[in-house]
Structure formats: C-alpha cells, structure tokens
Structure 1
Amino acid sequence: MSLVIYHNPRCSKSRQTLALIEEKGVQVETIKYLDDTPSASELATLVKKLGFNSARELMRTKEDIYKELDLKNETDEQALLNAMHQNPKLIERPIVVKGDKAVLGRPPENALELI
C-alpha cells in the first residue's frame, strides 16, 4: 500500500519528510493541500487517523489567521474543521497517511512508522 503526503513545498519539514519517504523507495502520492484543500469531513478523518482527540491538535495555532478568527476560544469541533478547510494555512504539515493510520512529519522521521 502506498503512502499519501499532505505536502506544502514551501515548508522545510514537509520537503524533508517527502525526501525521506522517496529515499526509502516507497511509492507516495503527493497532495498539495494549499491547492487541493481537504474537505471538513476529510480533515475529520485525518484527525481520527492521527489518533488526535480534537481537530485543534491538527491546527497551526501560531498562524495569524488562528488569532484573527479567535479560534483559541472555539469549542465546536465542526467549526475548527471548517476553519481549516476555509483557511488551509491552519493545517499542520506534513501529514503522512497509510491506510487507516497517519502521522505528522514533525520530525520527518515520524513517517518511518508507516514504511
């Protein structure tokens, strides 16, 4: 089964994670999530595959848009998922998926768990 990476080519950790996967000779499908943004329901599935308890764990809480939208005080999970869908910069990266499991590539070596 091949891997899928939700990738941002401008992010050094994302580039390092992709390079590590490719070095291992593993087939990988690359999704540039800033261009091809996952739906709120796809994001909910990723949260579950990552083993997170909340969508907030998948969010980049230091982004300006997080503060602008006052997401720190948001308690509704669907609202958090919708915010990530509408503002993909909020999605932590990279996310590597294999079947029903996923990891964040922070550090990039986390992806080795799925290889």
Structure 2
Amino acid sequence: MSKFWLFHNPRCSKSRAALEMVESHQSRGYDIEVVRYLDNPPDADTVRMLITTIDGTPADLVRLDDGLSATGITAEQLVDPESVAKVLLAAPELLQRPLLSDGTRTVIGRPTERISEMLNG
C-alpha cells in the first residue's frame, strides 16, 4: 500500500476535516503520516517534491493572504517553481492546506473531498 503524507495545520477547519477523513482511512490499513508543517517546516527537498507533484500550478501551493504581502512578494511574482520554493522555505505558514501527497501526486484538500478521492483513487 502507498505511503501518504498529510500536511496539516490544526488551527484550520478544512485541515481538521481532512485529518478526520485520513484517520478513517488509516483504520483501513492506509499508511498516512501527518506532518504538522508549522511545527516541522518542510525542507527544500520536500518543497521541491510538492512543487513538482501538485495537481495544478506551483503557485497554487501558496496561500494568497496577508502573510504573503508581509514577505514583500506579490502573487504576480510567483511565476516559476523557484520563486514558489523561495517563499515556502522562508515562510512555511504560507503553505496551502491541507495537502495530501504520495510523493508522485499532491492535492490541495479544498474541498476536502479531493483528499478522499485521492485515497480512494
């Protein structure tokens, strides 16, 4: 069975809903590691993996809220994987959540049904 990683922020309601969904799959034998990315920020290799496997564009991994403007970078500057990696390594709190990855594919769990679809895929 595949290994999955759930990038989780316990303060986010969507992330908590995704965690509940993941926990129900763990009881069915799925190997899912919960990564509290604010406590243990992803390293450069992990960020690159997320960027290269995201269902969408690399910029989709960055939360476009007030935290982004605090970095001095605008959404328009997130034009390539390198700029996205730079932002996420400097400010891991801007990582979109929840994320589910198996190392070859990564989905953003908005809506949370995308998490279930990947697990049942």
TM-score normalised by the chain length of structure 2: 0.81
Q: Percent identity?
A: 29
Aligned with 2:69: secondary structure?
A: helix
- Give yes or no for the alignment of 1:65 onto 2:67: yes
CA 1:73–1:108: 2 relative to 1, 3 Å: closer
Deviations 1:3-42 (A, max 9, x none): 2101111111111001012123233201111111112342
- 1:67 aligned partner, one-letter code: S
- 2:43 aligned partner, one-letter code: S
Deviations 1:53-77 (A, max 9, x none): 3x32111011x22112132242453
| Mapping of residues 1-115 of structure 1, within 5 Å | 1-24=2-25, 25=27, 26-53=30-57, 55-62=58-65, 64-68=66-70, 69-74=72-77, 75=79, 77-115=81-119
Query: Any unmatched runs of 5+ in structure 2?
Result: none
Please give the alpha-carbon distance, in whole angstroms, between the structure 2 residues aligned to 1:71 and 1:80: 11
Please give the alpha-carbon distance, in whole angstroms, between the structure 2 residues aligned to 1:70 and 1:28: 33
- 1:56 aligned partner, one-letter code: A
Please give the alpha-carbon distance, in whole angstroms, between the structure 1 residues aligned to 2:54 and 2:80: 19
- 1:27 aligned partner, one-letter code: D
- 2:23 aligned partner, one-letter code: E
Post-superposition offset of 1:43: 1.4
Post-superposition offset of 1:79: 2.9
Please give the alpha-carbon distance, in whole angstroms, between the structure 1 residues aligned to 2:84 and 2:54: 16
Moved >4 Å (runs of 4+): none
Please give the alpha-carbon distance, in whole angstroms, between the structure 2 residues aligned to 1:16 and 1:56: 23
> What RMSD over aligned residues (CA atoms) do the two structures have, in Å?
1.8
Aligned with 1:100: secondary structure?
A: coil
8 Å contact from structure 2 (residues 9, 98) kept in 1: yes
- 1:8 aligned partner, one-letter code: N
